[in-house]
């Protein structure tokens, strides 16, 4: 079975851990990673979501923070702060810096991000093929209230420097209009037996990946069933800033609201199936009415066992859709 997963950072990476526990040794998992969170910092190319997937699946992630490296130290960050320079709000740990140094050196040598990521994964052996959604520079920008109208800032500035504490007026993906899909991405969707949207942020992770038109087109046309997992449980995001973004864009903060936002493939959207938590079972009929097969199962990824069970439930919904064709 070839399974292709579109992933952001923490939510996607946790789900993928469960998926790898649930699949057999002959199954192949390909991950299309969000690169719209990527940022240049001190001349370094930083790819937070790709690294979160790579470190999580490779056993290098900090288990409490859920981003960056285990046994991290922060000497470089302290030195940067002592110089009084900007952008020290972004967490660049000493161990993590090595990843960014290698990536940036290869970038300047003209190597594409897909090959760079493959080189980094040679060390981490994440157990999946990790493909950047694009090699072009697509960036998520957030519009917030400024002195004279809307100020547009990089997503990392909104999320980390401002702590997502200011209202969101708009979300744009700069460069997405001209971006092409990364090497292997369209093929991984079209040749997949199953496509999964894990409980990643619907706007800045899944939405960012779908902002690359050839990726969205592949998702709409693949013969594989496309099944997603709600990142919203009981009317709130489990963690992160999805609530604030959905509010800013006028999308209902509910499992059904996000399902309708993604839309049914039968009416131009990207979903065939959608899993909601048992707490949201009351929304199943609304999701079915939108043309999306829906099922309620436990969606909290509290430990390895519940996460693997969620992955099995996701595959089971996809299996039932494939069988019904």
Q: Tell me how far, at minimum, the Cβ of 202 lies from ligand GDP, in Å.
A: 7
Taking contact as CB under 5 A, which single stretch among the options 6-14, 55-63, 129-137, 157-165 is the one that binds Ca ion? 6-14
Q: Tell me how far, at minimum, the Cβ of 92 lies from Ca ion, in Å.
A: 16
In the list 4, 134, 200, 211, the residue contacting ligand GDP (rule: CB under 6 A) is 200
User: If binding is defined by CB under 5 A, does position 68 make contact with Ca ion?
Assistant: no
* Residues present in the chain in total: 325
DSSP annotation string for 278-300 = GGGGGGHHHHHHTT-EEEE----
Instruction: Using the minimum distance from each CB to ligand GDP, give the nearer residue, 106 or 311.
Output: 311
Q: Tell me how far, at minimum, the Cβ of 83 lies from ligand GDP, in Å.
A: 29
Distances (CA, A) of 197 to 35, 45, 104: 16, 26, 29
In the list 33, 143, 199, 269, the residue contacting ligand GDP (rule: CB under 6 A) is 199
Taking contact as CB under 5 A, which single stretch among the options 9-17, 115-123, 132-140, 190-198 is the one that binds Ca ion? 9-17
In the list 4, 29, 31, 49, the residue contacting Ca ion (rule: CB under 5 A) is 49
Instruction: Using the minimum distance from each CB to ligand GDP, give the nearer residue, 112 or 298.
Output: 298
User: If binding is defined by CB under 6 A, does position 113 make contact with ligand GDP?
Assistant: no
In the list 10, 130, 196, 212, the residue contacting ligand GDP (rule: CB under 6 A) is 10
Element (H, E) at 266: none
Which residues, other chains included, contact 62 with Cβ-Cβ below 8 Å and sequence gap of 6+? 68, 69, 70, 72
226-229 and 273-276: which strand pairing? parallel
Instruction: Using the minimum distance from each CB to ligand GDP, give the nearer residue, 172 or 191.
Output: 172
Q: Tell me how far, at minimum, the Cβ of 31 lies from ligand GDP, in Å.
A: 11
Euclidean distance between CA atoms 265 and 217, whole angstroms: 11
User: If binding is defined by CB under 6 A, does position 226 make contact with ligand GDP?
Assistant: no
User: If binding is defined by CB under 6 A, does position 242 make contact with ligand GDP?
Assistant: yes
Output DSSP code: residue 225.
-
Distances (CA, A) of 112 to 56, 118, 203: 23, 10, 26
The alpha carbon torsion through 251, 252, 254, 257 (nearest 10 deg) reads -60
User: If binding is defined by CB under 6 A, does position 56 make contact with ligand GDP?
Assistant: no
CB of 100 closer than 8 Å to CB of 114: no
Within 262-301, which residues bind ligand GDP (CB under 6 A)?
A: 299-301
User: If binding is defined by CB under 5 A, does position 37 make contact with Ca ion?
Assistant: yes
Which residues, other chains included, contact 13 with Cβ-Cβ below 8 Å and sequence gap of 6+? 7, 52, 53, 56, 57, 61
In the list 8, 126, 225, 269, the residue contacting ligand GDP (rule: CB under 6 A) is 8
């Amino acid at each position: 079975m070839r399974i292709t997963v579109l992933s952001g950072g923490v939510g996607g990476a946790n789900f993928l851990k469960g998926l790898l526990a649930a699949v057999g040794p002959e199954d192949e998992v390909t991950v299309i990673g969000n690169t719209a969170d990527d940022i240049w910092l001190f001349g370094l190319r930083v790819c937070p979501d790709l690294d979160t997937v790579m470190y999580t699946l490779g056993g290098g992630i900090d288990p409490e923070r859920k981003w960056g490296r285990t046994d991290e130290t922060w000497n470089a960050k302290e030195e940067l702060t002592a110089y009084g320079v900007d952008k020290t709000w972004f967490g660049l740990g000493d161990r993590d810096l090595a990843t960014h140094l290698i990536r940036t050196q290869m970038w300047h040598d003209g190597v594409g991000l897909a090959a760079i990521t493959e080189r980094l994964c040679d060390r981490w052996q994440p157990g999946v093929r990790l493909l950047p959604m694009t090699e072009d520079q697509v960036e998520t920008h957030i519009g917030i209230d400024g002195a004279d109208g809307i100020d547009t800032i990089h997503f990392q500035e909104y999320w980390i420097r401002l702590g997502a504490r200011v209202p969101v007026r708009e979300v744009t993906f700069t460069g997405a209009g001209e971006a092409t899909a990364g090497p292997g991405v369209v093929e991984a969707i079209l040749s997949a037996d199953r496509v999964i949207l894990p409980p990643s942020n619907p706007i800045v992770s899944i939405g960012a990946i779908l902002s690359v038109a050839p990726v969205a087109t592949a998702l709409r046309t693949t013969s594989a069933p496309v099944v997603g997992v709600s990142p919203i449980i009981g009317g709130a995001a489990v963690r992160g800033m999805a609530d604030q973004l959905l509010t800013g864009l006028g999308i209902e903060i509910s499992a059904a609201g996000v399902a309708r936002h993604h839309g049914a493939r039968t009416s131009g959207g990207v979903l065939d199936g959608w899993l909601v938590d048992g707490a949201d079972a009351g929304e199943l009929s609304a999701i079915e009415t939108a043309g999306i097969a829906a099922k309620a199962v436990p969606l909290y990824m509290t430990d390895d066992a519940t996460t693997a069970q969620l992955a099995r439930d996701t595959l089971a919904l996809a299996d039932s859709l494939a069988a019904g064709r």
